[in-house]
Amino acid sequence: MREILRMNNVSVHFPVKGGLPFLKRGVIQAVSDVSLTIAHGETYGIVGESGCGKTTLANAMIGMVKPTSGEVLFAGKDLLRLPKEEFKKARQKMQMIFQDPFSSLNPRFNVYQIVSEPMFIRGEDDQEAMIARVVELLELVGLSSEDLYRYPSDFSGGQRQRLGIARAISLNPSFLVCDEPVSALDVSIHAQILNLLVMIQEQMKLTYVFISHNLADVKNICDRMAVMYLGKVMESGSSDRIFKRPLHPYTQALLAAVLDTTFDEKREQIILQGDIPSPIDPPLGCRFWQRCPQAMEGCKTIPPEHLEVEDDHVVACHLVHGFPAVELPDGYDRPVESLKK
């Protein structure tokens, strides 16, 4: 595996500013102690529910937010310690496609201005060459030179997402973050955009980070993946292996929520109890214990370690590994009473 990006124990905390003096000041632990590696040319999926830290993690990968601790290595270099000029160069190699194609494009810019902006910022000034490049990009994403001087409001959601893609690949990046690229689009358009992304990846030999809350999309597009919950990675590694043998109860619950049209009465339904807790005061032990159908007393206080269960398949769960041989509280392996139905 030729590695393009590596994260070592990355945490991103945001301060919560209590508006009133008596309010406790705290931190939002948006991303906690995440370690992962992404190989050249692969698609790496990040999946999890709203607020679990997917976007923040991706932003940390491309240097858009500064980790509170840990390091991010892009092509072997520590992104945070790079001199300014070199950082700028590295950043041009890393681009992002956003979830909402309606708000991510400047409505006062025409297509040419939108797509050429990154080149313009880089300091290109050959107008003719830029127009030729923009037309080339438009054709690649399924638009045409006739669209050059139209405005975002003239386009449908799917077409706007195509524009966002053209803009993101304009500087020939090698690393592209797709942050829920189809969530805001009509279902009948999803496949068009996903096929386009696959085609572009093959043509440009890109590495993708693909963020989604839909496990089926992740399964179909990603080589490797991480399942996140409340800022932490629960299960990660080869997507084939994870889907073949999902081991974390949270991964299993997400899987059960995917569209089922078999109408098979016997298909297991997993309904999680309760709500996603706040990332301000996350649980001490496993972050998932309050909603885990199989939680044990020890899960409340002992954080599970990330251990490999097979090659390129890592899980953080006491049910899988057993509790570590440390001082364990009494009754640590009893099921949590309050969670019983």
Ligand X SMILES: Nc1ncnc2c1ncn2[C@@H]1O[C@H](COP(=O)(O)OP(=O)(O)OP(=O)(O)O)[C@@H](O)[C@H]1O
What is the closest distance, in whole angstroms, from the C-beta atom of residue 156 to another protein in the complex?
Answer: 5
Among 11, 32, 43, 55, binds ligand X (CB under 6 A): 55
DSSP letters spanning 40-55: TT-EEEEE--TTSSHH
145 phi and psi, to 5 degrees? -60, -20
Residue 215: both structure tokens together: 């496990």
Residue 163: both structure tokens together: 């524009």
CB count in 10 Å sphere of residue 261? 5
- Residue 28 binding partner per list Mg ion, another protein, ligand X, none, with a CB distance cut-off of 5 to 8 Å that depends on partner kind: ligand X
Residue 217: both structure tokens together: 């999309």
Among 28, 114, 137, 226, binds ligand X (CB under 6 A): 28
Is residue 50 at the binding interface for ligand X, with CB under 6 A as the rule? yes
Q: How far is CA 199 from CA 66, 73, 123, 249, in A?
A: 32, 27, 29, 34
Mutual angle of helices 111-122 and 157-168, in 10-degree steps: 20
Among 5, 32, 53, 161, binds ligand X (CB under 6 A): 53
What is the closest distance, in whole angstroms, from the C-beta atom of residue 331 to another protein in the complex?
Answer: 24
Judged by beta carbon, residue 203 or residue 273, the one nearer another protein is: 273
What is the closest distance, in whole angstroms, from the C-beta atom of residue 273 to another protein in the complex?
Answer: 8
What is the closest distance, in whole angstroms, from the C-beta atom of residue 256 to ligand X in the complex?
Answer: 19
CB count in 10 Å sphere of residue 277? 16
Is residue 206 at the binding interface for ligand X, with CB under 6 A as the rule? no
Radius of gyration of the chain (CA): 22
Judged by beta carbon, residue 273 or residue 278, the one nearer ligand X is: 278
Measure the CA dihedral 198/202/205/207, to 10°.
20
Judged by beta carbon, residue 129 or residue 258, the one nearer another protein is: 258
Judged by beta carbon, residue 180 or residue 297, the one nearer ligand X is: 180
DSSP letters spanning 10-42: EEEEEEE--SSTTSPPEEEEEEEEEEEEEETT-
Is residue 178 at the binding interface for ligand X, with CB under 6 A as the rule? no
CB 250 within 8 Å of CB 234: yes
Residues 195, 251, 15, 62, CA torsion sign:
negative
Q: Which helix (H) or strand (E) holds 140?
A: helix 127-140
Q: Which residues of the chain form contacts with another protein (CB under 8 A)? A: 49-50, 156, 158-159, 186-192, 194-195, 198, 213-217, 219-221, 243, 253-261, 263, 269-276, 291
Among 56, 104, 212, 239, binds ligand X (CB under 6 A): 56
The size of the interface with ligand X (CB under 6 A), counted in residues, is 12
CA distance 16 to 30: 12
Contact region for ligand X (CB under 6 A) — 46-54, 79-87, 260-268, 330-338?
46-54
What is the closest distance, in whole angstroms, from the C-beta atom of residue 203 to another protein in the complex?
Answer: 14
Binding mask 40-79 for Mg ion (x = CB under 5 A): ---------------x------------------------
Judged by beta carbon, residue 241 or residue 291, the one nearer another protein is: 291
CA distance 314 to 307: 5
Tell which residue, 50, 43, 52, has the closest CA to residue 12.
52
What is the closest distance, in whole angstroms, from the C-beta atom of residue 111 to another protein in the complex?
Answer: 17
Q: Of 278-317, which residues contact ligand X (CB under 6 A)?
A: 279
Among 5, 10, 30, 61, binds ligand X (CB under 6 A): 30
Which residues make up the interface to Mg ion (CB under 5 A)? 55
Which residues make up the interface to ligand X (CB under 6 A)? 14, 28, 30, 48, 50-56, 279
